[in-house]
Amino acid sequence: MNIPLTPIRMLRYAREQFSSRTAIVCGNDRFTYEQFAQRVSLLACALIKMGIKKGDRVAFLSLNCHRFLEAYYAVPEVGAIFVPVNTRLGASELAYVFNDAGAKVLFFGDCFLDTVEALRARVPTLQFLIALDTDGPRRDWMAAQNYEESLASSKPYHANLMDIDENSIAEMFYTSGTTANPKGVMLTHRNVYLHALNYCLTLNPNRLTVHLHTIPLFHVNGWGTVHYSYLGAVHVIISRFRTAAVFRLIEQERVTSINLVPTMATALLEAPERKDYDLKSLERIRVGGSPPAPALIRDIEQQIGGTCFCAYGLTEASPSLTMALIKHDSGWSGEMRLEKQATTGFPIPGAEVRVVDLKGNDVPRDGSTVGEIIARSDGVMAGYWGQPEATANAIRDGWLYTGDMAIVDQDGYLLIVDRMSDFIISGGENVSSVELENALLTHPSVAEAAVVPVPHEKWGEVPKAFIVLKPNALVTEQELIDFCRFRLAHFKVPRSVQFVPTLPKTATGKVLKKDLRSKNMVP
Amino acid sequence: MNIPLTPIRMLRYAREQFSSRTAIVCGNDRFTYEQFAQRVSLLACALIKMGIKKGDRVAFLSLNCHRFLEAYYAVPEVGAIFVPVNTRLGASELAYVFNDAGAKVLFFGDCFLDTVEALRARVPTLQFLIALDTDGPRRDWMAAQNYEESLASSKPYHANLMDIDENSIAEMFYTSGTTANPKGVMLTHRNVYLHALNYCLTLNPNRLTVHLHTIPLFHVNGWGTVHYSYLGAVHVIISRFRTAAVFRLIEQERVTSINLVPTMATALLEAPERKDYDLKSLERIRVGGSPPAPALIRDIEQQIGGTCFCAYGLTEASPSLTMALIKHDSGWSGEMRLEKQATTGFPIPGAEVRVVDLKGNDVPRDGSTVGEIIARSDGVMAGYWGQPEATANAIRDGWLYTGDMAIVDQDGYLLIVDRMSDFIISGGENVSSVELENALLTHPSVAEAAVVPVPHEKWGEVPKAFIVLKPNALVTEQELIDFCRFRLAHFKVPRSVQFVPTLPKTATGKVLKKDLRSKNMVP
């Protein structure tokens, strides 16, 4: 008997088994699993009344709120594709994404009213622009009913579970586009369902998990936490990351689980109001993004609480691939434990993750040989929306090539050292731009650093550094080069340094190295 | 990207991630995951050298031992079907099963030598009869190499994961045949894989799980515990259930998890040597089979340790469907908690379980209305081997009809009250044979009781009791009928009582009611 693997089973299960339990805490609103699932069934009906059919794209532009979670389940329920978009994108970037996706419906929060007004004429596919907030301003281009009005005039709709094709697309997320135009990552019902199972299996969330959604829900799956519903977990929503609000919610709702990026972690550590709150309920803090120093992990555990460890994934993998949990029986403690928890981690169940050299051979587990991370997991996407060539380039011989460069230690823990595109090959030697940037950042005058390759007749490529100085800092190009020479192998030292007032960045704060490279090409 | 869902991924993962951890403790032997997986790859090669191909059946007749676990992974690795058989069956029953399955290879333990010798001529499909024990007696009909010799002369074989068809059959178990000939339950790779995920998700086994295999491994999947490998758990093997050995292994290996049937639980409680052992490592004791009294659950928790709760499943569902875990936030404690843990439980993730009346409507959650349990889960079998009619009878409209009758309480916990075939419909009223048997068993003279329906002109059916008296007990038919009348509604009282020296039973100890019924038909 094959039951389709689809996330809509998860909410149905929670409704059946945990109907009266709190599902969502959002501002002053609280919803039980019965209420949550009921609202989802109403939203599904509202979508059908709009003419939404299997395969249609439904976009969502909003800060975190309970309606976001509702859409995560209602859109796949009607067989449509859920497209949450990055709230930090500008109107032009959003218009590009909506057009590329061919979105029919856009739900949006009040604070994006002007943005939506500015872009709507440029996206001819959009048929319904629906306000999420109840008392927001009305414009004539909006749908006649706002979100709550749509629900109020609907009746519960439930798909026949067996009619769901587990290989159809359930969710689509756009890449951040640091190197090219954003691409739509197509995740199937099966991808999302199995990812959730593997994710839950790794973290052993029991039925007491209270998760605070610190990560924007437009990030793929909220990093997988959206489907904690399966276990009857409590979703605590925070619309924007504010340290005081985070602390207050942890105390008030006895939050057990949060996910952070390093900047959030630093903000929480630096917030003086921390000591006013009881944070003892925290059991697990996952840090994603770039691997932080073990000291950060230690500081979080000591000053905030729980067990803190890193995790790694990418949109194309639903996203989780590895977590830096401590392998039991390891006997690690103290600094050793912190060091392991600060790595990229080892694969979660359901994910095969290898680090390979240019010939496709696994690098030795020696903690020094660098290779590219490739992955084969239940969460890996069906492909990029409408981009068979990009898909074929990303998934080769059945493996997803991540473009992330890593080393593997003797215990099987990975550590990402760079993006492949940021690696510089100089005279046959690999130069890690991240290593070079980290070295430059230790200079007292340097605020930000980005290193890219520039062509060189003799060496092929040599590293060049772009530097943002701290206010009032004074340092010369030669001084910085000498500073690096003292610390790094000769071939790793940048050949030139260019001082810039700011570095070009994406909406999510990633440095746009492609811009630096093209800039660099200008004589 | 669709990675085939197959149990062979589980051992590969454990080998990659937990290579040096103890995987199996079996007598004086200990194997790491690296060694375990290596032996599996050698066994796979040995099977291929025997000419075993995709879809071939490989049977296994053995007490619990590490080689049993090896076969669980090696047989599916080569695409063949693993058929572990009940060690309590006689030679004729075994011959029936081997012939029905068309088994090509049979692995067997020394203690089954005479049985195998007796049946081999009756099973023409058997090409290889392979002794599992190293130093056992040799017979001329045995394969030239025993198990260990086969491994020693093999090289590691690994299937290409992507070549596995997740919908092909991985395991086949025979039903106990209380009502008809045993039927082969076909479980696909996908069934087994997803069942294991759902099972692990329910129990939250962390990576410290040390599981003692008290349940014979020929029971479907060892009730799912075979695939604890995925989480790097330690498998502690016991060849036969002996209380002193169970206690010794719990103490010695710091066992955290065991599964029991009620008779095992009673034996452990009654064993005087219990107090000589340290059992504090135990965290979880699951009791399967018939729902026990809450007092048994309490006694186990108090006198053995850990949390004790019931579980329900059937071979056709891989097997787990429900577990009587306490729902968090319930606030239950004391007697209430024990009562819940003594029920049949609520569905695990991945399983939909309903209790329906004859029209297919869900019975109310009132704790009294009886209906049949039907299930739809990732673990439900592909069907019965070579029996499309029996399959169509068991799986109707996409639901598995279990034949088990249950009630549901307001919290969604099921309680099995009877087998459907043992239900007696008398004058339009449902009479539970189990209820009647339990009432009879409270009479001081009654050792065993079995109730079956007999035809009746006026009432359609009426209950008839078969009674085995205690030694030297003296009681008349009328006295027992009066005894029941005092305790039960009039329509439930047996119309006749027949005293018998023994009750007919299967090899696994289940009463063969079909024999009583046919016996009853004789004038």
Q: What is the pLDDT along chain B (523 residues), one digit of tens a residue?
A: 999 999 999 999 999 989 999 999 999 999 999 999 999 999 999 999 999 999 999 999 999 999 999 999 999 999 999 999 999 888 988 999 999 999 999 999 999 999 999 999 999 999 999 999 988 888 999 999 999 999 999 999 999 999 999 999 999 999 876 666 889 999 999 999 999 999 888 876 565 799 999 999 998 878 889 988 888 899 999 999 999 999 999 999 999 999 998 888 989 999 999 999 999 999 999 998 767 788 889 999 999 999 999 999 999 999 999 999 998 778 899 999 999 999 999 999 899 999 999 899 999 999 999 999 999 999 999 999 999 999 999 999 999 999 999 999 999 999 998 777 677 877 777 777 887 888 888 899 998 888 888 888 888 888 999 999 988 888 999 999 999 888 888 888 898 999 999 888 776 667 788 788 776 544 3
pLDDT value at residue A491: 80
The answer to whether the CB atoms of A327 and B197 lie below 8 A apart is no
Class of the domain covering A1-15+33-191: alpha beta
- In angstroms, rounded to a whole number, what is the distance separating the alpha carbons of residues B98 and B105? 10
**DSSP β-bridge partners for residue A286:** A259, A309
pLDDT at B417: 85
A290/A166 Cα distance (integer angstroms): 33
Q: What is the pLDDT of residue B177?
A: 66
Query: Under the phi-then-psi rule, with left for phi > 0, alpha for psi from -120 to 50, and beta for the rest, what region is A360?
Result: left
Q: How confident is the model at residue A177 (pLDDT cuts 50, 70, 90)?
A: low
- Give the confidence band of A89 by pLDDT, cuts at 50, 70, 90: confident
Chain A residues inside the 8 Å CB shell of B378: 1-3, 5
Mean pLDDT of chain A, nearest integer: 91
Structure tokens at B432: 């539970």
The residues near A397 (Cβ < 8 Å, ≥ 6 apart) are none
Q: Which of B194, B328, B376 sits opposite A208 (nearest CB)?
A: B328
| pLDDT recorded at residue B507 | 65
* A134 in Cβ contact with A146 (< 8 Å): yes
The DSSP symbol for B279 reads -
Which chain A residues have a beta carbon less than 8 Å from that of B232? 327-328
Confidence at A151, pLDDT banded by 50, 70, 90: very high
Number of H-type helices and E-type strands within chain A: 15, 26
CA distance B105 to B90: 19
Which of B204, B230, B327 has the CB atom closest to A204's CB atom?
A: B204
Residue with tokens 């149905």: A12
* Average pLDDT for A176-196: 88
The reported pLDDT for the residue numbered B467 is 93
Q: With 90 as the cut, is the pLDDT of residue A424 above it? A: no
Position A522 scores a pLDDT of 40
Please give, rounded to a whole number of angstroms, the shortest distance from the CA of A12 to a CA of chain B: 10
More confident residue, A202 or A380: A380
d(CA B376, CA B395): 9
Cβ separation B395–A1 shorter than 8 A: yes
Cβ atoms A314, A339 nearer than 8 A: no
Residue A273: name the closest of A312, A244, A234 by CA.
Answer: A244
Residues B205, B227: Cα–Cα separation, whole Å? 11
Task: Report the residue count for chain B.
Answer: 523
pTM: 0.87
Closest listed residue to residue B224, CA positions, set B287, B311, B318, B291: B318
Rg of chain B taking only CA atoms, in angstroms: 24
Q: How much of chain A exceeds pLDDT 70, in percent?
A: 97
Q: Please state, in angstroms and rounded to a whole number, the distance separating the CA atoms of residues A321 and A271.
A: 31
- Search chain B and give the residue with CA nearest A4: B378
**Residues A36-57: what's their mean pLDDT?**
98
- Domain span(s) for CATH 3.40.50.12780 in chain A: 1-15+33-191
Residues A426-437: tens digit of each pLDDT: 777 777 788 788
Residue B352 has φ and ψ, to the nearest 5°, of -100, 125
What angle separates helix B8-17 from helix B189-203, to the nearest 10 degrees? 50
Collapse the DSSP code of B453 into the 3-class scheme (helix H, G, I; strand E, B; otherwise coil) and give the result.
strand
* pLDDT score of B523: 32
Q: How many residues does chain A have?
A: 523
CA–CA min distance B481, chain A (Å): 42
Distance (Å) from the alpha carbon of B399 to chain A's nearest alpha carbon: 9
Within 8 A of A380 by CB-CB distance, chain B residues are 1
Kindly report, as residue ranges, where domains of CATH 3.30.300.30 are found in chain A.
Answer: 427-521
Q: Count chain A–chain B contacts defined by CB atoms under 8 A.
A: 107
Distance set, CA B358 to CA B197, B375, B391, B403 (Å): 33, 15, 20, 12
For B8, name the nearest residue in chain A, comparing CA atoms only.
A350
DSSP class of residue B422? G
Chain-chain contact of A3 with B232 (C-beta, under 8 angstroms): no
Topology classification of domain B427-521: GMP Synthetase; Chain A, domain 3 (3.30.300)
Neighbours of B253 (CB within 10 A): 18
The token pair at B452 is: 């079956």
CB contact under 8 A, A349 and B230: yes
Pick from A418-422, A491-495, A512-516, B511-515: least confident? A418-422
For residue A134, give how far its alpha carbon lies from the nearest alpha carbon of chain B (Å): 32
pLDDT attached to residue B19 = 92
Give A328's contacts in chain B (Cβ within 8 Å).
206-208, 232
Q: Please answer whether residues B262 and B289 qualify as being in contact, where contact means their C-beta atoms are separated by less than 8 angstroms.
A: yes
pLDDT band at A521 (very low <50, low <70, confident <90, very high): very low
Q: How confident is the model at residue A352 (pLDDT cuts 50, 70, 90)?
A: very high
User: Inter-chain contact B327–A17, Cβ cutoff 8 Å?
Assistant: yes
Question: Closest Cα partner for A212 from A197, A223, A202?
Answer: A223
How far is the C-alpha of A198 from the C-alpha of A223, rounded, in Å? 12
Residue B373's H or E segment, with its range, is strand B371-377
DSSP string over B27-62: TTEEEEHHHHHHHHHHHHHHHHHTT--TT-EEEEE-
Q: What is the pLDDT of residue A382?
A: 97
Provide the β-strand partners of residue A207: none
Give the pLDDT confidence score for residue B492 in this predicted structure: 83
Please name the residue that has the structure tokens 């592909």.
Answer: B382
How far off is chain A from B442, nearest CA to CA, in Å?
36
